[in-house]
Amino acid sequence: MYKEKILNLLRSSKAGYVSGEELARKAGISRTMVWKHIESLRGSGFGIEAVPSQGYRITSAPDILRQSDIKPGLKTGVIGKEIHLLPSVASTNTLAMEMAANGSPEGTVVIAETQTGGKGRLGRKWISPKGNLYLSVILRPAVPLQKAPLITLMGAVAIVSAIRTTCGLEAGIKWPNDILVSGKKVSGLLTEMSAEQDRVRHIVLGIGVDVNMELEALPLDVRERTTTLAAASGKAMDRTALLRQLLRDLDRWYRVFLLNAQEVLREWRSLNLTIGNRVAVSGAGETLEGLARGIDEEGRLVIGLDDGTIRTVSAGDVSILKGARVQ
Ligand code: BTN
């Protein structure tokens, strides 16, 4: 228990180093015991640097997800009420949809180290080797159906926030829900829903984040437009720290969504990489080319075509056409 406390204090330190004195005071133990727990954490695979007169700092963490590292001190209201962590599953989304239909509570999170049948948008596969994050969150928002697509935008905002906080990378969002770093995709969302007439029964928000995998695990065509957080930052990332921050950010933004969905749209717009660019949007058997003018109240992309007509699309693949940013 104290070992976990020390680990959490080190993990959540914004300043970098935490002094032995501060760790002892906050954990309520002696400095000798702090040192013993630091040694024990090193024995469990954590790299911990000790600098005289500054304190301790985590430099590396074992790349395994463990319940006992994810849950303690998470302090979320809804998200992560129940956490199910599996070594492998066909798809966390499929499992979470089944669990939701069988009554699992709102905020239940299903996480897997690998997926054998990971699902992407538009019926594609989501290749899911070890080293990344694959999770699905069960939500039961009491909102009308037309507000449901905003849940995906809310998820994108939370992912960007978690990546920026944990990895210090300038992540942004390409409509509808691709998270990009340096122009390449690092994360995607797949939302599935069960509804009755005009009401949401439950929603499963599925999130894949490419963290530490070898890019060689992907087929060439996908690899070209993909990066990982490790590749973008030049060092392996602590998946547990990222996951915990993501659960906190989802908790915060889901609450904002329930109180005032306009706030989510405002944040999404400020993080987006699409609006103001010339784009080609393919989907539903056609490709539209024009200026991405904005997103509407339901998160649909508004495109101004060259002949002056305005089109609104709710799904598709966007290519940002180079060298044509407007405004
Ligand atoms: C996309 O195509 O960009 C969406 C990818 C979503 C992948 C995640 S991984 C966890 C969850 N389970 C799945 O089968 N898919 C989503």
Q: What confidence tens digit (pLDDT) does each residue in 36-94 have? A: 999 999 998 899 999 998 999 998 878 899 998 898 889 999 999 899 999 999 999 99
- Residue 285 per-residue DSSP state: T
Residue 326 confidence (pLDDT) above 70: no
At 285 the pLDDT is 82
- Whose CA is closest to atom 9 on ligand 1? 208
Residue nearest to atom 11 of ligand 1 (CA): 206
pLDDT by residue (tens digit) across 164-174?
Answer: 999 999 999 99
Return the amino acid letter for 199: R
The C-alpha atoms of residue 270 and residue 265 are separated, in whole angstroms, by 9
Counting from 1 in the atom list of ligand 1, the atom nearest the Cα of 187 is 3
229: its two tokens: 């957080």
Give the global pTM: 0.85
For 129-133, 168-172, 281-285, 286-290, which range has the lowest pLDDT when averaged over its residues?
281-285
E strand or H helix that includes residue 110: strand 109-115
184 token code pair: 């390449």
- Cβ–ligand 1 distance for 134 under 6 Å, the answer yes
Mean pLDDT, residues 224-240 taken together? 94
Query: Which residues have a Cβ under 8 Å from the Cβ of 236 and sit 6 or more positions away?
Result: 60, 63, 212, 230
Q: How far apart are CA 306 and CA 291, in angstroms?
A: 8
**327: pLDDT strictly greater than 70:** no
Question: Among 54-58, 262-266, 297-301, 318-322, which stretch is predicted with the lowest mean pLDDT?
Answer: 318-322
CA of 126 to the centre of ligand 1 (A): 6
Measured in Å, residue 127 CA sits from the centre of ligand 1 at: 9
Out of 97-111, 127-141, 309-323, pick the least confident. Answer: 309-323
Could you say which DSSP state residue 307 is in? Answer: T
Q: Where are the alpha helices (DSSP H) in the chain?
A: 2-11, 20-27, 31-43, 67-70, 92-101, 149-167, 220-224, 229-233, 239-259, 261-271
Contact 106, 138 (CB under 8 A): yes
Cα angle for residues 134, 140, 145 (degrees, 5° grid)? 105
C-alpha closest to that of 312 among 127, 149, 107, 121? 149
One-letter amino acid at 123 equals: G
Read off the tokens for 153.
Answer: 């935008």
Please, are residues 81 and 56 in contact by the beta-carbon 8 Å criterion? no
| Closest by CA position to 177, among listed 310, 268, 291 | 268
CB 91 less than 6 A from any atom of ligand 1: yes
Q: Whose CA is nearest to atom 15 of ligand 1?
A: 119
Closest CA to 130 of 185, 63, 83: 63
Dist. CA 151 → ligand 1 center (Å):
15
Is the CB of 187 inside a 6 Å radius of any atom of ligand 1?
A: no
Q: Say if ligand 1 is within 6 A of residue 132 CB.
A: no
The residue contributing the CA closest to ligand 1 atom 7 is: 208
**Ligand 1 test: best mutation among 97, 126, 173, 187, most atoms within 8 Å of CB?**
126
Could you tell me which residue, 283 or 192, shows the higher pLDDT? 192
Give the Cα separation of 209 and 188 in Å (integer): 7
DSSP tally for the chain: helices H, then strands E: 10, 14
